[in-house]
Every structure is written in C-alpha cells, then in structure tokens.
C-alpha cells in the first residue's frame, strides 16, 4: 500500500540532486530500477571526472536512460559570480550556489605552490569575535559537490594563471568544517579519488575551531589529511573571551582529543595563532603556548591579524611576535610566521564576508 507521502511525491516529483549520491548509491539506484548497476559507475564518471552539466552529455547511456535520469534528478553546479584580483596575485571568488546564496573561495599563488582556500558552510555559527564570517548568520551547510566545485574552479584558475594544476587545499574559508562533517569528508573523498581530482590528502588541510568530539571522530575515521586548530590562546580565560566555543569545550578537552589524534594518525597538528595587542602579548601567554605545545606533537603558525572593521583588535608589536618565535624554537617547536595574502581585496583569513555580493 502506498504511504500518503509517496502519493504526493508521485503528483509533485521533487527532483533530487544527483551529485549528493555516492557511487554506491548510484549503482543501487540503477539496479533498483531494473538496469545494470555498472551504469552507476558511468554516471559517476560523467558527473565527477568529466564535470558535465546535463544528462544529454552522457553519451554512453541510451536516450531512454538519460531521460529517465532527467525525470528523477537535477545536476547542480556552482557559478563563479565575481572575481577580484589582489595586487599580490590572490584571487577572491564570489561563488553563487543553486539556491542563490553566496560563499567565497580564494586562489592563493606563491612562487612554489598554488592553494585553494574553500568554504564549508554559508555563514558560520561560532561567533569568534575577531572573524568577519562570524557576522553572517549561518544559513546552511554546503553539499559535497558545492565544496568540490570550488576546488575545480580554483584549479582552473591555477592552470590559467600559473600554468600548472592546483597544489594545495585549505578548508579555511567560511564556516566550520567539522560542523559539516559528512559533506566535507565526502568532498575530500572526491577530491582525492582517481575519478575526481586525484589529489594527495597530504596536500589538504582542514582548519577547525577545535571540537574535541569531532577531532576524535576524524582520528577514528583514519583520515589522511592535515589538521589545523585555531588556538589563539592557551589560557582558557583568554581564549573564551574571543572564541565562545571554548566555554563548552576547554583547552584540556581539546588537548586530549589532539593527543588521541596523534596516537591514531601519527600526524602533528598545526596551531594557528594570532598575537593581539593587550590580549595575548604577555610573557605568560607565550609560556602557556609553549607548555601546551610540549604536551602534544605540534607546530605553530603565527598568522598576521587582518583587521575586519573597528573591532578593537590590533596586531601585537613585532618584538612580541619575535619573542614567541624564539621561545617556541628554543623548545624545539616548529614555528612559521605567515604573512597575509589578498588583504587589499578582503580575501585574507577571517575577512570573508560577502562585502561585494
Ligand atoms: N572555522 C575554521 C575555519 C575558518 S577560519 C577555523 O576556525 O579554523 C580560518 C582561519 O582564519 C582560522 O585560523 C581563524 O582563526 C583565522 N582568522 C579568523 N579571523 C581572522 C582575522 N581577522 N585575522 C587573521 N586570522 C583570522
């Protein structure tokens, strides 16, 4: 007997996004509908490897099969709506999604590599006080294909501007990737699979505000990409004033999850850390960071602060940053000082907020 919702579905066919299906789900769809399951592999390749925009282009399927797919599914693609180029070569893309919402992704070329900085959510729910994306309400999670397509678009820019394919990906755009766990992992599966972009997971870094349960899940899932945590302070009272999430899961919980991560993956976490005047520029802030890093294999990226507006934050003096570097190095902790890219077009870390959209 038909359930009432099945009847409604019959009257008002609601087409599903075919790119939300895994290869296995596509195979099952074909066999459930009395066709050979290997057709699922063919469709998968058209969708991901060849990146077609319509079923008509799937020329190794019969006309009937193509029409059948067309009655059940849509193929959604993102659109690069606007590109802004910085004087340092960085390109910020405003990406329009199928429902009209916009996210931003950034192409960052250096002399040795090209990096795509991609978004995982529309807006963000975490309210870090220093981040522009926090000013936007979280609207929704991105689907795996919407994340994948950002990488494809930036790979094309890498080929066009630098004559070589994209070398690295960072999940440091809008949103918190670990709050969109399933879709982010699915997108990475596609990015790394031979049918997709075939990139090495070692060239992918996921940056998180630091959610202990989800970090442990990553470890249990034995992922092979790199993990970065936005630390910004190793003192609970200080971190909580900037990152409200720290009140729910404190630094000790975070540390335990990172120790577990290292045990399982053998990969050291990178701490991202901005030094602000009057907030974390005291010797005791430096000592706390050193002590924290000594408890888990890790390295530190000291990142430049990108002002977002009159928010009262100011980058600390060079001497303090230098002192951080010296003390970390003296304790055998690898430290890099990262300069901002794309500041003049609001494309740097924490500046993504659809100002132009
Ligand atoms: N939600 C994830 C990824 C997005 S933020 C996370 O928190 O890690 C990417 C990085 O930019 C994080 O390290 C974040 O702390 C940093 N960031 C945010 N606002 C910034 C700003 N105004 N200046 C410099 N870095 C900033």
Name which residue sits closest to atom 7 of ligand 1, judged by CA. 209
In a domain, 315, yes or no: yes
**Structural domain boundaries enclosing 284:** 79-345
Domain with 27 in it: what CATH number? 1.10.150.530
Render pLDDT for 9-20 as a digit per residue (tens, 0 to 9).
344 357 888 988
Q: Are residues 138 and 279 located together in one domain of the fold?
A: yes
Name which residue sits closest to atom 24 of ligand 1, judged by CA. 305
Q: Are residues 47 and 162 located together in one domain of the fold?
A: no
pLDDT band (50, 70, 90) for residue 50:
confident
Which residues contact residue 101 at a Cβ distance below 8 angstroms, ignoring those fewer than 6 apart? 122, 139, 140
Q: Mean of the pLDDT values across residues 117-142?
A: 93
Residue 146 has pLDDT above 50, yes or no: yes
Q: Are residues 25 and 147 located together in one domain of the fold?
A: no
Q: Are residues 66 and 96 located together in one domain of the fold?
A: no
Single out the catalytic residue among 24, 45, 104, 293: 104
Render pLDDT for 299-312 as a digit per residue (tens, 0 to 9).
999 999 988 876 78
Best residue among 177, 321, 349, 355 to mutate for probing ligand 1's pocket (most ligand atoms within 8 Å of CB) is: 349
Q: Which of 34-38, 43-47, 106-110, 349-353 has the lowest mean pLDDT?
A: 349-353
Q: Are residues 295 and 220 located together in one domain of the fold?
A: yes
Residue 357 has pLDDT above 70, yes or no: no
Render pLDDT for 213-227 as a digit per residue (tens, 0 to 9).
999 999 999 999 999
Buried-exposed string 62-92: b where 16+ CB fall within 10 A, e elsewhere: eeebbebbeeebbbbbbebeeebbbebebbb
Domain with 179 in it: what CATH number? 3.20.20.70
- As a whole number of Å, the CA-based R_g of the chain is 22
Burial of 266 (0-12, 13-18, 19+ CB in 10 A): exposed
CA–centroid distance, 350 to ligand 1, in Å, is 5
pLDDT at 32: 96
Best residue among 229, 303, 304, 342 to mutate for probing ligand 1's pocket (most ligand atoms within 8 Å of CB) is: 303
Q: Pick the closest to residue 116 from 141, 91, 97, 96 (CA basis).
A: 91
Name which residue sits closest to atom 17 of ligand 1, judged by CA. 350
pLDDT at 162: 94
CA–centroid distance, 349 to ligand 1, in Å, is 5
Render pLDDT for 283-304 as a digit per residue (tens, 0 to 9).
999 999 999 999 999 999 999 9
Residue 195 has pLDDT above 80, yes or no: no
pLDDT band (50, 70, 90) for residue 330:
very high
Q: Which of 3-7, 265-269, 336-340 has the lowest mean pLDDT?
A: 3-7
Q: Are residues 95 and 134 located together in one domain of the fold?
A: yes
Residues with CB under 6 A from ligand 1: 130-131, 172, 176, 207-209, 230, 272, 274, 303, 305-306, 308, 349-350
- Measured CA to CA, the distance from residue 62 to residue 87 in angstroms comes to 50
pLDDT band (50, 70, 90) for residue 2:
very low
Q: Specify whether 349 is catalytic.
A: yes
In a domain, 183, yes or no: yes
Query: Among the ranges 78-87, 96-105, 191-200, which has the highest mean pLDDT value?
Result: 96-105
Q: Mean of the pLDDT values across residues 251-274?
A: 98
Q: Specify whether 104 is catalytic.
A: yes
Q: Is the dihedral of CA 249, 335, 187, 56 positive or negative?
A: positive
Q: Are residues 23 and 112 located together in one domain of the fold?
A: no
In a domain, 353, yes or no: no
pLDDT at 10: 40
Q: Are residues 49 and 34 located together in one domain of the fold?
A: yes
In a domain, 351, yes or no: no
Q: Which of 6-10, 37-41, 49-53, 147-151 has the lowest mean pLDDT?
A: 6-10
Render pLDDT for 83-126 as a digit per residue (tens, 0 to 9).
898 898 999 999 999 999 999 999 999 999 999 999 999 999 99
CA–centroid distance, 196 to ligand 1, in Å, is 28
- Model-level pTM? 0.90
CA–centroid distance, 208 to ligand 1, in Å, is 9
Name which residue sits closest to atom 9 of ligand 1, judged by CA. 172
Residue 57 has pLDDT above 60, yes or no: yes
Name which residue sits closest to atom 2 of ligand 1, judged by CA. 208
Q: Are residues 147 and 264 located together in one domain of the fold?
A: yes
pLDDT at 3: 39
């Amino acid at each position: 007997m038909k359930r009432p919702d099945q009847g409604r579905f019959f009257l008002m066919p609601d087409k599903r996004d075919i790119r939300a299906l895994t290869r296995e789900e596509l195979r099952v769809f074909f066999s459930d509908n009395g066709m050979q399951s290997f057709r699922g592999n063919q469709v998968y390749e058209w969708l991901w490897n060849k990146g077609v925009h319509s079923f008509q282009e799937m020329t190794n399927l019969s006309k009937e099969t193509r029409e059948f797919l067309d009655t059940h599914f849509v193929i959604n693609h993102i659109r690069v709506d606007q590109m802004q180029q910085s004087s340092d070569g960085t390109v910020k893309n405003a990406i329009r999604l199928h429902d009209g919402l916009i996210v931003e992704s950034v192409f960052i070329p250096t002399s040795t590599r090209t990096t795509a900085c991609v978004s995982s959510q529309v807006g963000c729910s975490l309210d870090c006080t220093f981040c522009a994306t926090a000013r936007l309400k979280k609207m929704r999670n991105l689907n795996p294909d919407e994340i994948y397509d950002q990488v494809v678009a930036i790979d094309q820019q890498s080929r066009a501007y630098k004559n070589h394919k994209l070398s690295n990906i960072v999940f440091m755009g809008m949103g918190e990737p670990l709050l969109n766990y399933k879709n982010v992992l699915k997108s990475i599966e596609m990015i790394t699979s031979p049918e997709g972009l075939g990139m090495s997971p070692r060239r992918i870094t996921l940056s998180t505000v630091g959610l202990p349960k989800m970090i442990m899940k990553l470890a249990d899932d034995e992922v092979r990409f790199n993990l970065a945590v936005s630390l910004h302070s190793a003192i609970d009272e200080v971190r909580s004033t900037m990152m409200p999430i720290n009140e729910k899961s404190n630094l000790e919980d975070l540390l335990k999850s990172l120790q577990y991560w290292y045990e399982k993956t053998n990969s050291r976490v990178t701490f991202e850390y901005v030094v602000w005047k009057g907030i974390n520029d005291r010797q005791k802030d430096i000592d706390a960071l050193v002590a924290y890093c000594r408890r888990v294999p890790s390295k530190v990226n000291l990142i430049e602060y990108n002002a977002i507006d009159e928010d009262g934050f100011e980058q600390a003096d060079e001497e303090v940053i230098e002192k951080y570097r010296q003390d970390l190095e003296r304790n055998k902790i690898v430290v890099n000082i990262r300069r901002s890219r794309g500041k003049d077009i609001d494309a740097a870390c924490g500046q993504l907020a659809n100002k132009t959209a």
